Amino acid sequence: MNLKILRNEIGLSQDELAQIMGLKQKTYCNYENGTTEPNIDTLCKLADYYGVSLDYLVGRKFNDEIGYLEKADKETIKLFLTLNELNKVKVASFIAGLLAVQN
């Protein structure tokens, strides 16, 4: 989540932000550290407070052509992008072959 980044941008401490949100400082700290996750109502309150979308708040990125990507998909794309052009063509051909026989 982008909670720490957003909080630091506005210059508040965890305690100050927790008070604004009606939370205990430890609870907010756990959200920032990923130890626990806020419920949807708290996520909405945080997004509204920071003036960002829920997607941005939780670190999701949208690609118009392929939609939202799961972590494993992002890792696969990162690996693909490190290939040279010839190997990218080979991978694309291999995938096309798999799709042709997929049920």
Do residues 50 and 42 make contact, with C-beta atoms less than 8 angstroms apart? Answer: no
E strand or H helix that includes residue 55: helix 54-57
pLDDT in tens, the chain (103 residues): 889 999 999 999 999 999 999 999 999 999 999 999 999 999 999 999 999 989 888 887 766 677 667 778 888 988 999 999 999 999 999 999 999 999 7
What is the spatial distance between Cα 76 and Cα 26, in angstroms, rounded to a whole number?
Answer: 36
Question: Domains (ranges, CATH) in the chain?
Answer: 3-57 (1.10.260.40), 66-101 (no CATH)
Whole-number pLDDT of residue 64 = 66
Whole-number pLDDT of residue 75 = 86
What is the spatial distance between Cα 66 and Cα 3, in angstroms, rounded to a whole number?
Answer: 26
What's the predicted TM-score (pTM) here?
0.60
Whole-number pLDDT of residue 67 = 67
